[in-house]
Structure 1
Amino acid sequence: MAQTIVIPAAGRCLLFLFSHICGEGLTMKMNRNRGGKQSRGQNREQSRSQNRDKRQKGTAQAMPNFSGQHLLHHRKTIEALIRLPRLGPGDTVLDIGAGKGALTLPLAAVAGKVIAIEQDAGFVRILREKTADYPHITVYQGDFRTMKLPGQPFCAVANLPFAITTEALDKLLGWGNGNLLRGAFIVEKGAAVRFTAPGCADPRIIAWRMNYLMEKRGRVERTCFSPPPGVDGSILYVERRKQPLLPQGQYRRFCTFAGFLLKAAGHPIHEPLRVIFTAAQMKLALKEAEAERDQSAASLSLRQWSVLFQAMLRYAPSYRWPG
């Protein structure tokens, strides 16, 4: 038979109080757990949202819009650009980064054929609408850096995007097929100084100058653009030399040669040359270049660069060439 346990009144009160306290504690713990889980969930969602924002911001920064980033609207600058290359009815001219056509239509008034190159799809639509009645204007949508240059002599006029100025000029003046005759470009002011200043130590720019005359032709204030860039621009004029100093097809090899000599730009030139030439070959090469043994590579003239490079091609075995 089951026994009945009788709890005194005082004991019943204590048991009720203990049960009530434990119940509240359990409820509080459950609430804390739920609140903690909810808070952690909110924190995770906030963190994911912040990471998304960072990724989106980073993507926007990593994908600059080169096409027409700073559109030229200054009439006198446009006229000066078009006048410099001395264009005529027999000329083909590239308008690189044509934007909305600020240069395209004025170029069509003086040149026989205009190739307008633009990457931005919206600007391309505008260009095609504006030039629909001009059969001698071709609008090309794409990145100039990857397009094929004309197979016949041509000129170029451009408001070059500052972010790709060196790449664009390297294509025209260096890697190109040598068919560029004359060009007028708006470039960043500091770049224009670097491209034309004496005592250059950049192999690419030395190579450009060996085949092209390069002149800085005046400042273009930032207010001439919309939106205005953070710096002023300059007009850079280039014209192919009547007697180029660098043989066609030797651009890459020359840059390697010049880069090797310029590694120790302030040292006597005989130090790097003795790696390439024998003593007798170096003596002959220096004589032909009218250069001194103790002369530095940074002080070489364009003619001396040309003579020393061609001496390497003639006299030194290819296994001793730099690179």
Structure 2
Amino acid sequence: MPSTPSGVHLLSCPRVIRSLIKHSGVGPGDLVIDFGAGPGALTAPLAATGAAVLAVERDDAFVRVLRRRFAARPSVRVVRSDLRWVRLPCRDFAVVSSIPFAVSTPLLRRLLSPVSGRLAHADLVVEWGLARRLTASRPRDLESAWWAARFDLRLVRRIPSWCFTPAPSVDAAHLSVRRRSGLDGRGSAVLWALLGSVYRQPSVPARRVLGEFAAYRPALRMLREAGADPSGPAASVQVGVWARVASVVAVDRGIAVPRLPRGLRG
């Protein structure tokens, strides 16, 4: 095995690896990506499930190891590329990966931001603090809220630093990502507009935020039915509630909906 590139911490705990694969539920017929595949610690057990695996790795030495190791496995395709730029599949896919901490946010942005993205679900190893922030009940910024409203983000378990070679200075976490249903393109545009208003004016009553898209009484009814207080601060309403409200508002074709930013259309 080649020496570990500077800044790279390889997941080396068999128990954690087995837990990731089991939780992902991938199997025959699925397409799964292992970003930052390294020497193939996750690639091999993923291939054993019967799924088609894309092993993405940018380090030349690891790429050579992967190609030798999986030369006889047609279900494994080794792609030499940077995970920030590699082309993503045009069909539904899953991700099971131990992501280099330094590029976790750029990859999450690629996977979770575009409405047109085909990510079905992911089981990721990320830095502990990042996982805590992404799974907080109140996302701290608009981007995190956008992700949490469209995907169920859950912190499955803490992963101690000694589970990596070499050990990083901080612990990691198993982050589960599952796409929520019920939002089409129009509903997503409404959701983005609603969340934008919430994060610009967090203390404004929730009914005023929704009032931009619906009459006063329907706005109150929708919020109450979703379990939110229409008179309370907009920021106090859970992002999942805004997602459900957005899907209802979007049904009314008489409401003008602003276009999503280009970067979110994908």
Structure 1 residues 107 and 250, CA gap change in structure 2 (3 angstroms): same
In structure 2, what residue type is equivalent to 1:285?
A
1:295 to 226, 232, 236: 232
Which residue of the partner structure matches residue 92 of structure 2? 153
Q: TM-score, normalised by structure 1?
A: 0.68
Give how far 1:250 is off: 6.2
Which residue of the partner structure matches residue 130 of structure 1? 69
SS in 1 for 2:66: helix
Q: Report the Cα distance in structure 1 between the residues aligned to 2:135 and 2:44, rounded to whole angstroms.
A: 30
User: How well do the aligned residues superpose, as a CA RMSD in angstroms?
Assistant: 3.0
Correspondences of 1:163-178 after superposition (within 5 Å): 163-175=102-114, 177-178=116-117
In structure 2, what residue type is equivalent to 1:135?
P
SS in 2 for 1:143: coil
Which residue of the partner structure matches residue 177 of structure 2? 238
In structure 1, what residue type is equivalent to 2:41?
A
Give how far 1:312 is off: 6.9
Q: Report the Cα distance in structure 2 between the residues aligned to 1:320 and 1:83, rounded to whole angstroms.
A: 39
Unaligned runs of 5+ in 1: 1-64
1:189 to 128, 135, 139: 128
> What per-residue deviation string (whole Å, max 9, x for no partner) do you get for residues 161-190 of structure 1?
112222212322231635322321101111
In structure 2, what residue type is equivalent to 1:284?
P
Checking the alignment, whether the CA contact within 8 Å between 1:187 and 1:233 is kept in structure 2 is yes
Give how far 1:313 is off: 8.0
> What per-residue deviation string (whole Å, max 9, x for no partner) do you get for residues 250-290 of structure 1?
6576445413322222332345555x35xx72432232232
Structure 1 residues 67 and 101, CA gap change in structure 2 (3 angstroms): farther
Checking the alignment, whether the CA contact within 8 Å between 1:200 and 1:298 is kept in structure 2 is no
Structure 1 residues 126-135 or 263-272, which shifts more? 263-272
Give how far 1:321 is off: 10
> What per-residue deviation string (whole Å, max 9, x for no partner) do you get for residues 289-323 of structure 1?
3244422122213453125435378454357999x
Unaligned runs of 5+ in 2: 262-266
Checking the alignment, whether the CA contact within 8 Å between 2:194 and 2:242 is kept in structure 1 is no
Give how far 1:98 is off: 0.6
Which residue of the partner structure matches residue 89 of structure 1? 28
Q: Report the Cα distance in structure 2 between the residues aligned to 1:180 and 1:319, rounded to whole angstroms.
A: 25
Structure 1 residues 303 and 223, CA gap change in structure 2 (3 angstroms): closer
Give how far 1:128 is off: 1.2
Which residue of the partner structure matches residue 265 of structure 1? 202
Correspondences of 1:1-323 after superposition (within 5 Å): 69-175=8-114, 177-241=116-180, 244-248=181-185, 254-273=191-210, 276-277=212-213, 281-290=215-224, 291-310=228-247, 311=249, 314=252, 316-318=255-257
SS in 2 for 1:146: coil
Runs of 4+ in 1 over 4 A off after TM superposition: 65-68, 249-253, 270-274, 318-322
SS in 2 for 1:87: coil
Greater helix proportion: 1
Give how far 1:148 is off: 2.7
SS in 2 for 1:182: strand
Checking the alignment, whether the CA contact within 8 Å between 1:204 and 1:255 is kept in structure 2 is no
SS in 1 for 2:24: coil
Counting aligned pairs with the same residue, the percent is: 34
Residues paired across the two proteins, number:
253
SS in 2 for 1:181: strand
Give how far 1:124 is off: 1.4
Higher RCO (CA < 8 A, seq sep 6+): 2
Q: TM-score, normalised by structure 2?
A: 0.82
Checking the alignment, whether the CA contact within 8 Å between 2:190 and 2:258 is kept in structure 1 is no
In structure 1, what residue type is equivalent to 2:219?
A
Checking the alignment, whether the CA contact within 8 Å between 1:152 and 1:179 is kept in structure 2 is yes
Structure 1 residues 152 and 273, CA gap change in structure 2 (3 angstroms): closer
Larger radius of gyration: 1
Which residue of the partner structure matches residue 264 of structure 2? none
Give how far 1:225 is off: 1.4
Q: Report the Cα distance in structure 2 between the residues aligned to 1:284 and 1:180, rounded to whole angstroms.
A: 33
